[in-house]
Amino acid sequence: MTEIVFDRVSHDFGPDRVVDDVSLVLAEHRIGIVGANGSGKSTLARMINGLVTPSSGRVSVGGLDLARHAREVRRMVGFVFTNADNQIVMPTVREDVAFTLRRHKLDRADAAARVDAALQRFGLTELADRPAHRLSGGQKQLLALAAVLVAEPSIIVADEPTTLLDARNARLVSEHFAELPQQLVVVSHHLELLEEFDRVIVMEGGRVIADDRPGPALDVYRELIGSAR
Amino acid sequence: MSSAHSTSTSDSDATTAVPTPVPRRPRSTARDLAQIAVFAALIAALGLPGALSIGGAAVPITFQTLGVMLAGAILGARKGVLAVLLLIVLVAAGLPLLSGGRGGLSVFVGPSVGYLLGWLLGAAVIGWATARLLPRYPIAPALGWTALGGIVAIYLVGIPVFSVVTGTPIGAAALASTVFLPGDVFKVVVTVLVAKGVHRAWPGLIEPRSWPWARRSVAAESTGTA
Amino acid sequence: MIGVFHPGRSLLHRAPALLKLGLLAAFVTAVALQGSLMALAVASVLVMVLFLIAWLPLRLVWQQVVPILWLLAFAVPVQVVFGGWEAAAMMAVRLVLAVALAALYTLTTPVSATLDAMQALLRPFRRWIDADRVGLTLALTIRCVPLLAEIVREVLEARKARGAEGSIAALAVPVIVRALQTAEHLGDALTARGFDD
């Protein structure tokens, strides 16, 4: 697994400190991040591929410093957003998956074969020429996942990938996540998804308040939400 | 407002929450491109059937010119003009994105093509002036400049082209275009009110500049808008 | 998005878009410069033959030509008053011919073919214009139209649910804010997916 290192990372949004002096070394296969809204967990996830540049501190992935090598890191890190609608950038399903391969400069036949394989894997072959906006919410998230995986990233970061889905689609997407061989960093409120993970980090007020195996870490989180009520 | 945020802010915490007054300098190209595409799509969406209608059939109001004015007033001259251009190119390519489902090259050989091309000039004028009205964006001059771009500039291109293509005298063409005037005045007012609100909530969309005639003055903002 | 295009297998459907664009431009110019009613009559017959070759549903052709008829309803009487009936007739025929032929192009040419033709036409200007990026932006815009239509629809519904009160500005601000948020997210997605590489 690749080492994702946060070294004394802080981040401010205007007057608010959303990430407060976080140091972490993430090298497990499946890592979950939980926390209330505004706890800084999405910001932390976005730092892994340089979508957010920390106000202070350093983030590196596989030894590459994000401040200098964001492009190289982005080739290794696939990012799945919460709202697939905002992640799909091309009009049709096939075009959107193919968009990710633009930067790989493959020849046409090779690229088409990889796109077809990715569509097949997520059961989207029949929908390949459909306009993306006609897909259901679950299908859109699968498309987003297919479009990320077609580039064969070694790490996948997902920011609440099941939050906007209904229970059935959330389960479908979770099952696909569970089968991924890649290193995973998943921000989620979907605690069942994280129960099988190797490590869970609990964020609160921009700080890490628990960092453990899923069992004890999720207990801390449940207690945290419970006490807030 | 509250319901309007429901889908967009639900996806994550502080990173993407409602406008934060932080200059976000890196990755500007991708965001600029997305803003241009989104506003081109907004102009198209405002022309879709049933999108908006006011005053019935008696007053020919198309809300697409509101989209054009907003593109200039929210994104500035360069991005605003590019958004309008993008829409025009897609219309030329055969997408029915103009109000009433019009699209294709027939629009470009018809007499109202001048108004369509006038949109480019309109967005440019509004964007140019808005950059100079910001950060204070005083209402009265903003109304004047937005009317200059959103009405005068568009008619300035639209009326002569209409006159030439149809062979009608320019006076008659100008007279005919006055049916659009009440609607267009209304859209100018809406544009200014919206721009005022949005620029306050979401600073940094357009970098403020100084008026050419106030360049050497230190207090450029106040003299330019006084 | 299919657009105005109507699929078919006629000669006009199969002709390359660039060729059709060139011929259309030549025809429209010729008609605009033509002074005699006789020549315009010949051109009318030609256009009719082309429509027969393309064999399109009459309804679609009508839809394309009808906006110009509304304008003519205004322009023809004005022209009769100022320029006489002959000038008015010529103007009307010229316009209808140009619009009909342009409609014929659009009805027989897929949007993607026209966009490819435009990219080809941009090629000589590649020092200033990145045709690849233009194509990408056009595709992104097509993708965004349903997103923005949805935003407008939702905001209108929210307004109705509250009893249709509030000014148009109060309606437009949330539309713009959500449009900007969408752009922000799409920008992030473009970056994450390697747009800048």
Residue with tokens 């025009």: B88
* Whole-number pLDDT of residue C166: 62
Radius of gyration of chain C (CA): 22
Considering only CB atoms, which chain C residues are within 8 Å of B110? 67-68, 71, 95, 98-99
Residue scoring higher pLDDT (B57 or A190):
A190
- The residues pairing with A7 across neighbouring beta strands, listed in sequence order, are A58
Residue A185: partners with Cβ closer than 8 Å, 6 or more residues away = A4, A26, A31, A33, A45, A48, A155, A156, A157, A158
* B146-155: average pLDDT: 97
Domain boundaries, chain C: 11-121, 130-192
CB–CB contacts below 8 A, B to C = 243
Inform me whether the pLDDT recorded for B52 exceeds 60.
no
Residues spanned by the domain of A217: 4-228
CA distance C5 to C12: 12
Split into its structural domains, chain A has a count of: 1
Asked, for residue B174, whether it belongs to a domain, the answer is yes
**Residue B68 in this model has a pLDDT that exceeds 70:** yes
What average pLDDT does range A107-131 have in this prediction? 92
**Interchain proximity C191–A74, CB inside 8 Å:** yes
Condensed to tens digits (0 to 9), the pLDDT of residues B197-209 reads: 999 988 889 999 9
Cβ proximity of C185 and B40 under 8 Å: no
Residues spanned by the domain of B162: 27-211+218-225
The crossing angle, in degrees rounded to 10, of helices C58-108 and B154-166 is 110
Whether residue B68 lies inside any domain: the answer is yes
C104 closest CA partner among C2, C15, C1: C15
In a domain, B16, yes or no: no
Residue A176 pLDDT > 50? yes
Contacts 24+ apart (CB under 8 A), B169-176: B169/C78, B169/C82, B172/C78, B172/C82, B176/C74
State how far Cα A156 lies from the chain centre.
5
Q: Residues of C with CB below 8 A from A150's CB?
A: none
For chain B, how many structural domains are there in total? 1
- Which of A72-81, B27-36, B76-85, B195-204 has the least mean pLDDT? B27-36
Residue A201: CA count within 13 A, CB half-sphere: 24
Task: Over range C27-53, report the average pLDDT.
Answer: 89
Give Cα C107 distance to the centre of its chain: 10
User: In which element (H, E) is residue A64 found?
Assistant: strand A64-65
Taking an 8 Å cut-off on Cβ atoms, the answer to whether B34 and C179 are in contact is no
The CATH number for A34's domain is: 3.40.50.300
What CATH number has the domain bearing residue B97? Answer: 1.10.1760.20
For residue A118, give every residue at least 6 positions away whose Cβ sits within 8 Å of its Cβ, in sequence order, or none. A97, A146, A147, A149, A150
C-contacting chains (≥3 CB pairs under 8 Å) = A, B
- At residue C185, does pLDDT exceed 60? yes
C19 neighbors C12 (Cβ within 8 angstroms) = no
What is the maximum alpha-carbon separation in chain B?
60
For residue C33, is pLDDT > 70?
yes
What is the average pLDDT score of chain B? 81
pLDDT above 60 for B54: no
Could you tell me if residue B197 is inside a domain?
A: yes
**Does the beta-carbon distance from C176 to B74 stay under 8 Å?**
yes
pLDDT of residue C52 exceeding 70: yes
Residue B107 counted as domain residue:
yes
Element at B36 (helix H, strand E): helix B28-45
pLDDT at position B55 over 50: no
pLDDT value for C164: 58
Say whether A133 and C147 touch across the interface (CB within 8 A).
Answer: yes
Q: Report which of C72, C138, C132, C140 is spatially closest to residue C100, judged by C-alpha positions.
A: C72
For residue A46, pLDDT over 70 is answered with yes
pLDDT-derived band at A228 (thresholds 50, 70, 90) equals: low
Per-residue model confidence (pLDDT) at position B225: 44
Q: Are A192 and A173 in contact (CB under 8 A)?
A: no
Query: Would the CB atoms of B46 and C152 count as touching at under 8 Å?
Result: yes
* ipTM given for this complex: 0.89
Cβ atoms B63, B104 nearer than 8 A: no
Which residues 7-66 on chain B approach chain A with CB closer than 8 angstroms?
7-8, 10-17, 20-22, 26-27
Of A46, A71, A131, the CB nearest to C196: A71
pLDDT of residue C187: 94
